[in-house]
Amino acid sequence: MSKVFVNIGLSLDGYMAPEGMTMEHWDNPEYKNWGAKWGAMMGWIFNQQYFRENLKLGPGGETGPVNDMLRSTTERIGANIMGKRMFDGGERGWPEEAPFHTPVYVLTSEKREPWVRPGGTTFYFVNDGAESALEQARENAGGRDIRIAGGADVIQQYLNLGVIDALEIALAPVLFGGGRRLFENLNETASRFRIDKVIEGPDATHLRYVRE
Ligand SMILES: NC(=O)c1ccc[n+]([C@@H]2O[C@H](COP(=O)([O-])OP(=O)(O)OC[C@H]3O[C@@H](n4cnc5c(N)ncnc54)[C@H](OP(=O)(O)O)[C@@H]3O)[C@@H](O)[C@H]2O)c1
């Protein structure tokens, strides 16, 4: 059966996105310095050869254990689930060939027809809740794994449902001091995890936790 996992970047003080990284300020990454903070958190990924190849950013990039991890993580995904705010940013920022190559279930209150992108990505807009999105993802993942791509709101819902099998966090040594916090709004029965793997990189520590 498909595993359900989270794979994200996080600031050392626990934020998934810096303050100011909202749709109103999307075009101004200097607002509250959000662009620099985002770059400091996610810089590690832009240096990886596999990521550069996948986003058609040009040749080069690091090859090594972090790149291998990125490749194997990406290749085991059969479906993605995300929130509408993550989607809104991506709709403006992703290239035409969106970098998922799977069905993507977008949790939203907005009604919208599926949006088909070249390269195998189709976004489906789900209006009937997190459990329904997961059910649809399981049906269409072809037995591969399901990534809860973000943002924080959506990850919190799945943590509260107790369905996350693995939490993969690239912890970057940068302090945001504010923004979209990952670990909040959790209920008391949120799952317990054990440490599965740690990979040290120059720009982030890659932590993998699996549910006990
Ligand atoms: N650090 C990382 O690796 C990483 C990864 C992903 C995203 N991010 C960042 O995270 C930020 C977004 O996170 P976020 O927590 O603010 O928002 P989010 O989780 O992306 O989206 C939340 C929105 O999704 C819709 N939604 C969520 N659950 C729903 C449900 N059960 N039913 C219906 N609609 C539902 C609602 O929007 P509507 O009601 O308007 O439809 C809600 O406001 C962005 O800045 C993004 O760049 C960071």
What is the per-residue DSSP string for 117-140?
ETTTEEEEEE-S-HHHHHHHHHHH
Write the pLDDT tens digit of every residue in 42-77. 999 999 999 998 888 888 999 999 999 999 999 999
pLDDT at 1: 87
Which residue from 11, 31, 85 has its CB within 8 A of the most atoms of ligand 1, so it is best to mutate?
A: 85
Residue 190 has pLDDT above 80, yes or no: no
Domain at 159, CATH number: 3.40.430.10
pLDDT digits over 129-182, tens only? 999 999 999 999 999 999 999 999 999 999 999 999 999 999 999 999 999 999
Which residues sit with their C-beta closer than 6 Å to ligand 1?
Answer: 8-9, 16-17, 21, 83-86, 89, 107-110, 129-130, 149-154, 157, 180
The pLDDT > 90 percentage for the chain reads: 88
Residue range 104-110: average pLDDT?
A: 98
Number of structural domains found in the chain = 1
Predicted pLDDT of residue 187: 93
Domain boundaries, position 154 = 4-211
b or e along 63-92 (b: 16 or more beta carbons within 10 Å of the residue's beta carbon)?
A: eeebbebbbebbeebbbbbbbbbbbbbbee
Atom of ligand 1 nearest to the CA of 88: 20
Does 189 score more than 80 pLDDT? no
- What's the 88 CA to ligand 1 centre distance in angstroms? 9
